[in-house]
Structures are given as structure tokens and as C-alpha cells.
Amino acid sequence: MSSVLILGATSDMARAIARAYVKVGRSVILAARNPERLELDLVDLQVRAHVQARSVGFDVLDITHHGAFLDGLGELPGTIVCVVGGMGDQATSEREVAGAELVMRTNYVGPVALFSEAANRMATRGTGTLIGISSVAGERGRARNYIYGSAKAGFTVFLSGLRQRLAQAGTEVRVVTVLPGFVRTSATAGMTTPGMLTAEPKEVADAILRAESGGPETIFVRPIWRVVMAVIRALPESIFKKLRI
Ligand SMILES: NC(=O)c1ccc[n+]([C@@H]2O[C@H](COP(=O)([O-])OP(=O)(O)OC[C@H]3O[C@@H](n4cnc5c(N)ncnc54)[C@H](OP(=O)(O)O)[C@@H]3O)[C@@H](O)[C@H]2O)c1
């Protein structure tokens, strides 16, 4: 079976995704800025499933080297999951353009650049799966996180257009958009989030595996988020701009 490349592999979500893939016999390549932080994860995965697991260095901001990064892996992976992202700090982003730029580059420019390189290679091969972790934050701009949200919105739209392009080109390359609401990870550890709206990383991983094997290509992880966002999107601006959500 073909390998799975997981970008942003130090995150709790990526860890759950890697475990889910090795469980079904897929070998994994874990990519992170500091791959030495992944040593325990590699041992854990190999003990769990006796499949190949290795780590590689990867910086999503280093866009001029993304092509060389992919070519350096040897065989092009069958599946690439981009977990890379980061909310940043909205207040900092409002004050300093450099803060906002980092959020935009981490959540939009970098992932788009990497997936563009990967998509062209997969299109030539004719098969593959690209899975992007976007966010419900990209469904409508909110005061508390609109820099992050706008970058995720861009990523969501990119994935939609890429999916259509690859389908119309007659390839069998699947593009999956993951739109989680709240997920219990180290990044949200200090936040109080409603239980019903908060998924575990394993739920994200299970939803991804279902999407990979023929399920819907746009997934909200917890279905309730589809309803919540439909309501939020439908609110008139006159009401929405008064809400503190
Ligand atoms: N948690 C939630 O409630 C939630 C909800 C919706 C969407 N999401 C999205 O889900 C994904 C994972 O989120 P999380 O909560 O697990 O957050 P996280 O722990 O902050 O994960 C972010 C990952 O991105 C990596 N990363 C950041 N900048 C990078 C760069 N320049 N190059 C390579 N990797 C880089 C981080 O690596 P380092 O360890 O090197 O920093 C980390 O592995 C993100 O895309 C996030 O936007 C999360």
C-alpha cells in the first residue's frame, strides 16, 4: 500500500491521524520543522502496527523548496495530509502586520504552495489523495479570529477549486477538505469549549479515513457543525455584527 505523508506531524491531530493510518496498514512519513521531536512517535507507531514509519524535516514557509522536498521523498506518497496551521494571536495580528502575515503564510500561502506542487505530480501519475485541514473559522469572518479565519477561508476555496480541476482533468486524485470546529488539542488546552461541539483528535482521524475511502470530500468532523455554520452564514450582517461569538 502507498505511503501517507503527514505535514505538521507534531500536533495532537496529526498523531491521531498517523495512528489511524498505520492501523489500516499504511506506512507513514511524518514531516515537521523539528523532526527530532518525533522519535517517540515513530517507535510508538512501529510497535502498534509493524509498518514503516519515518520522519523528515519540513517547513511550510520554505515554499521555494517544496518541489525539492517532495522529490527528495523518493516515491510520491499516495496520500498527503496537511495538518499545518496556527491561530496566532488576533490582537497581535491587528497591531503588527508581521504577525498577520505569519498567520496568512502558515495557514494559506504555505499549504497552497505545497499542495500545488503535489497536485501537479499526482495529476501526472493519475491517482492520489490530498487532505487539507482547514477550519469552520473560514466559513464566516468573526472579530475574534478573522485573520486566521480569512486564511483558512482561502485554503478552503483553494481546495474546492483544485478538486474541480483534477476531476475535470479526468484524474483519480481526491481532494478532501476537513472543516473541524473545536478539537481538543494542546493548542486549545486553555480554552473552555462546549462538549457537544468539541471533537477528540481521534474523531478527526476517523473522519479522514472514511473520506479517503470514498466518503464525502468535505467533512465537518462533528455533523452538528454543518448546521451551526449554516445558521451562522445565514445571519444578516445587521444581526451578525452585534453578536459576540
Ligand atoms: N484545535 C482546534 O480546535 C482546531 C479547529 C479547527 C482547525 N484546526 C486546525 O487543525 C490543525 C492542527 O491544529 P492543532 O490544534 O493540533 O494545533 P497545533 O498543535 O498548533 O498544530 C499545528 C501544527 O502546525 C505545525 N506548524 C506550524 N508552523 C509550521 C511551519 N512553518 N512548518 C511546518 N509545520 C508548522 C506545528 O508544528 P510545530 O510543532 O513545529 O510548531 C504543529 O504541528 C491546524 O491546521 C489548525 O488550524 C484546529
pLDDT tens for each residue of 130-189? 999 999 999 999 999 999 999 999 999 999 999 999 999 999 999 999 999 999 999 999
111 lines ligand 1 (CB under 6 A): no
* Contact yes or no for 38/21 (Cβ under 8 A): no
Query: Any idea which residues carry the catalytic annotation?
Result: 148
Q: Whose CA is nearest to atom 46 of ligand 1?
A: 85
Total number of domains constituting the chain: 1
16 lines ligand 1 (CB under 6 A): no
- Residue 87's CATH number: 3.40.50.720
Residue 215 is predicted with a pLDDT of: 85
13 lines ligand 1 (CB under 6 A): yes
Assess whether pLDDT exceeds 90 at residue 1: no
Q: Grid coordinates in use for 139?
A: 466559513
Q: Which domain holds residue 184?
A: 4-240
Instruction: Tell me whether residue 235 is in a domain.
Output: yes
Q: What is the mean pLDDT of residues 69-86?
A: 98
In 3D, which of 92, 91, 74, 66 has the Cα closest to residue 7?
A: 66
156 lines ligand 1 (CB under 6 A): no
Distance (angstroms) between ligand 1 centre and the Cα of 221 equals 17
pLDDT tens for each residue of 190-230? 999 999 999 999 999 999 999 999 989 999 999 999 999 99
Instruction: Tell me whether residue 29 is in a domain.
Output: yes
198 lines ligand 1 (CB under 6 A): no
* Contact yes or no for 110/84 (Cβ under 8 A): yes
Q: Whose CA is nearest to atom 17 of ligand 1?
A: 187
What is the spatial distance between Cα 108 and Cα 74, in angstroms, rounded to a whole number? Answer: 26
Q: Grid coordinates in use for 75?
A: 516515491
Backbone angles phi, psi at 182, to 5 degrees: -80, 140
pLDDT tens for each residue of 97-118? 999 999 999 999 999 999 999 9
Distance (angstroms) between ligand 1 centre and the Cα of 230 equals 25
Least confident window among 33-37, 117-121, 213-217: 213-217
What is the spatial distance between Cα 187 and Cα 190, in angstroms, rounded to a whole number? Answer: 8
The separation between CA 44 and the C-alpha centre of its own chain, rounded to angstroms, equals 22
* Identity of the residue numbered 230: A
Q: Which residue among 29, 84, 186 has the greatest number of ligand 1 atoms within 8 angstroms of its CB, and so is best to mutate?
A: 84
What is the spatial distance between Cα 61 and Cα 103, in angstroms, rounded to a whole number? Answer: 11
Q: What is the mean pLDDT of residues 43-68?
A: 96
What is the spatial distance between Cα 68 and Cα 73, in angstroms, rounded to a whole number? Answer: 9
Instruction: Tell me whether residue 245 is in a domain.
Output: no
Q: Which residue among 6, 29, 33, 204 has the greatest number of ligand 1 atoms within 8 angstroms of its CB, and so is best to mutate?
A: 33
Residue 38 is predicted with a pLDDT of: 97
Residue 148 is predicted with a pLDDT of: 98
Distance (angstroms) between ligand 1 centre and the Cα of 11 equals 6
Instruction: Tell me whether residue 50 is in a domain.
Output: yes
109 lines ligand 1 (CB under 6 A): no
Instruction: Tell me whether residue 95 is in a domain.
Output: yes
Classified as helix, coil or strand, 82 is strand
106 lines ligand 1 (CB under 6 A): yes
Assess whether pLDDT exceeds 90 at residue 92: yes
Residue 80 is predicted with a pLDDT of: 98
Classified as helix, coil or strand, 149 is helix
